[in-house]
Structure 1
Amino acid sequence: MPGGHCLIAIGASAGGVEPLRRIVGDLPQGLPAAVFIVLHVGEVSYLANILDRAGPLKAMVARNGATFETGRVYVAPPDFHLLLHDGHMLRRRGPRENLARPAIDPLFRSAALSYGARVVGVLLSGSLSDGTAGLRAIKAVGGIAVVQHPKDTLVPAMVESALDHVAVDHCLPAAELGGLLAKLAVEPAGETLPAPPAVRLEAAIAAQEHSTMKKEDRLGELSVFTCPECHGPLWEIEDGDMVRYRCHTGHAFTADAMMEAQALEADEILWSLLRSHQQRAEFTRRMAERERTRGRSTLATRLARRASEYEEDAQVIERILEHRRVQATDDGEASEDGKETTD
């Protein structure tokens, strides 16, 4: 591939489809760079078809083991990380990172390792902070970091995280990013710097070259927390001024992704407890009625009292769940109000 900025890696999440369509639509025919895109998606994605119609560049779903060409757009498929190595694309069902697969960080890290200073990493609209660690890796080897301007996003959290923790080179609205990327693609790249060992290890985990983290491969200090995904121990990683977590299996979390995962886990536990107490109350109530029809009033009274206790426990859990629902709604409204204030 050419010696300029020949590889553009783009990551997006919530609110990312429209800026992706705009950027790809603004890229010129004959772009001397290959474009790789990760969008957090569900089980089905039509993103490649959408982007194929957006502009002159051919867009397609990345194929495992295939080579890639400049002037093409390659999209990560659902439920697979998209990685790059030695001129080839790899699709891997490695551990989820920041609650996502495909995730942005694995693409950015693998691009940084394979193409160094020739990489341009781009982060667009999205929640949480996937992509920040990957952008740090791109910058560490001499690449360029670009983010969509927060005021131009539907969900600014992802780009705000990058602006907080990465020395971003360009911060522009989506309408200006296509032109910027076309310009960067023809500019000579700088010198590639050695990749930090931790970046190599985390890329290997995503590529499933490491089934577990052995003692000598640990990226940080063992924490008191357990992985919300597999419940194994978590290592705390000091990544500059950023704190991240990774388990022995390879699940990875930024601090806000960790809080989100813990909240989801707590909700699952609470709903499970609620169902359990409701079923215990109903079962015990039926047993009380059964004993009452048989003339065993003492046992029936005892069972009825126990059923009432289970119902009271269920009501406590319902109040907790309702409080969490209201709190989540208030937090969301506060976030929207804050965005409107800054616009």
Structure 2
Amino acid sequence: MKIRGSKITSYTGYVVVIGASAGGMEALCTLISQLGDDFPAPILIVQHISADASGDYLLKAIQRAGKLRCVHAIHGKQIQAGFIYLAPSDHHMLIHGDGKLQVTKGAQENRYRPGIDPLFRSAAVGFTNRLIGIILTGYLDDGTAGLIAIQRCGGTCIIQDPADAQYPDMPTNAMNQLEADYILPVSEIGNLLTKLTTKKLPLRRKTVPKDILTEANIAERVLSDLQAVNSLGEQVPFNCPGCGGVLWKIGEGKELRYRCHTGHAYTYKSLLAEQTNKIEETMWTALRMFEERRNLLTTYAKTQTGAVARSAVERSEQSQIHIDRIRAILLADDKSTTPN
């Protein structure tokens, strides 16, 4: 870090980025507790939290667990070694190569804001081989694409041992898609970070692949157009659950992802989970409307006689058939729902 007088001009050391979801608070506290107050790098954390949560409970828990100062990220703030920066709820946290934070309300990625992938990708572009990325406990697979970006840009990748994770999905999915530099229980990651961040800094930056740079720019809203997304993949006959726009397929096989031109992005698993949620919402709406229709017809039949009353009763009974079918589908889906 270069300091001229009291003004910080830019950050030139190592940077650590961490992504966590379900079970993350305990894992993060365990990790942070291992770091001394002289830890020589800034730490940027995305923990999935609900949009209406303040995140203060997490900030205070991390502050109590360790010796480093923990703060919520502020747009335009310069990062400093020895500080922990938390992404605010319902905002992405990105980092520029000059060490300045960007806090944005950009489109959700993998159904989350803050998202792990946007932070990891922006940090990979900004710090390449000076970056250390860590995936901890959580559901589904947010962070995997970002960790791959870190690896492709020359950074170091660490994954919590799934056997050690309270919720092993995120570490397991990351392990299935890349060969991490280290796979460790969280109780050993802190000591490893101290060793890695005290190593001699690399002399040269690694070149950033064009596709990673494009996706990082989209997340910053620098690019968000058809040309940009067309350069990443090909259109597919699916609609974005977030905005209804067309989706583009990015990558192949295990690295298959989807993105729309407004910025929403999904892995296969997060897209499937979001489609399932949308279907369920539609089914519950249909169930309510059929129940209201049945109730209206039943009420109306009681006020009528003859053929009019019989017709209303028949239509009410037909609505009940639809209600029973929809309920059966919802009950069947409830037994096999993918966790959020």
Alignment of 1:195 with 2:204, yes or no, is no
Question: In 1, Cα distance between the equivalents of 2:152 and 2:22?
Answer: 27
Which letter maps to 2:212?
Answer: V
| TM alignment of 1:20-59, pairs within 5 A | 20-42=28-50, 43-44=52-53, 45-46=55-56, 47-59=58-70
Question: In 2, Cα distance between the equivalents of 1:310 and 1:58?
Answer: 60
TM-score, L = length of structure 1:
0.91
Question: In 1, Cα distance between the equivalents of 2:130 and 2:63?
Answer: 25
Which letter maps to 1:210?
Answer: L
Which letter maps to 1:282?
Answer: N
Structure 1 partner of 2:25: 17
Alignment of 1:206 with 2:219, yes or no, is yes
Contact 2:74 2:101 in 1 (8 A): yes
Question: In 2, Cα distance between the equivalents of 1:240 and 1:299?
Answer: 59
Which letter maps to 2:28?
Answer: L
Structure 2 partner of 1:122: 134
TM-score, L = length of structure 2:
0.92
Contact 1:139 1:145 in 2 (8 A): yes
CA 1:146–1:288 in structure 2 vs 1: closer, same or farther (change >3 Å)?
A: same
Which letter maps to 1:138?
Answer: I
| TM alignment of 1:275-314, pairs within 5 A | 275-292=288-305, 297-314=306-323
CA 1:164–1:323 in structure 2 vs 1: closer, same or farther (change >3 Å)?
A: same
2:81 to 70, 88, 93: 70
Contact 1:95 1:250 in 2 (8 A): yes
* Pairs aligned (count): 326
Q: CA deviation at 1:231?
A: 1.5
What SS class does the counterpart of residue 336 from structure 2 fall into?
Answer: helix
What does the per-residue CA deviation read over 1:263-310, in whole Å, with 9 as the maximum and x for residues that have no partner?
101111111111111111111112222223xxxx11111111001100
Taking only the aligned residue pairs, the percentage that are identical comes to 36
Question: In 1, Cα distance between the equivalents of 2:65 and 2:157?
Answer: 24
What SS class does the counterpart of residue 26 from structure 1 fall into?
Answer: coil
Question: In 1, Cα distance between the equivalents of 2:86 and 2:74?
Answer: 9
Mean CA deviation greater in 8-17 or 277-286: 277-286
Structure 2 partner of 1:150: 162
| TM alignment of 1:211-290, pairs within 5 A | 211-214=224-227, 217-238=230-251, 241-290=254-303
What does the per-residue CA deviation read over 1:126-154, in whole Å, with 9 as the maximum and x for residues that have no partner?
11111111111111111000011000001
Question: In 1, Cα distance between the equivalents of 2:253 and 2:148?
Answer: 9
Contact 2:214 2:228 in 1 (8 A): no
Mean CA deviation greater in 319-328 or 212-221: 212-221
Q: Give structure 1 regions of 4+ aligned residues with deviation exceeding 4 angstroms.
A: 2-5
What does the per-residue CA deviation read over 1:56-76, in whole Å, with 9 as the maximum and x for residues that have no partner?
111111111111110110100
Contact 1:29 1:57 in 2 (8 A): yes
Structure 1 partner of 2:193: 181
Structure 1 partner of 2:8: none
Q: CA deviation at 1:162?
A: 1.0
Question: In 2, Cα distance between the equivalents of 1:327 and 1:167?
Answer: 31
CA 1:134–1:239 in structure 2 vs 1: closer, same or farther (change >3 Å)?
A: farther
5+ residue gaps, structure 2 = 3-10
Contact 1:4 1:189 in 2 (8 A): no
2:125 to 108, 113, 124: 113
CA 1:300–1:327 in structure 2 vs 1: closer, same or farther (change >3 Å)?
A: same
5+ residue gaps, structure 1 = 333-343
Question: In 2, Cα distance between the equivalents of 1:70 and 1:215?
Answer: 34
Q: CA deviation at 1:192?
A: 2.8
Alignment of 1:79 with 2:90, yes or no, is yes
Question: In 2, Cα distance between the equivalents of 1:6 and 1:99?
Answer: 29
Alignment of 1:322 with 2:335, yes or no, is no
Question: In 2, Cα distance between the equivalents of 1:59 and 1:216?
Answer: 36
Q: CA deviation at 1:327?
A: 2.7
Q: CA deviation at 1:239?
A: 5.7
Contact 1:10 1:37 in 2 (8 A): yes
Structure 2 partner of 1:337: none
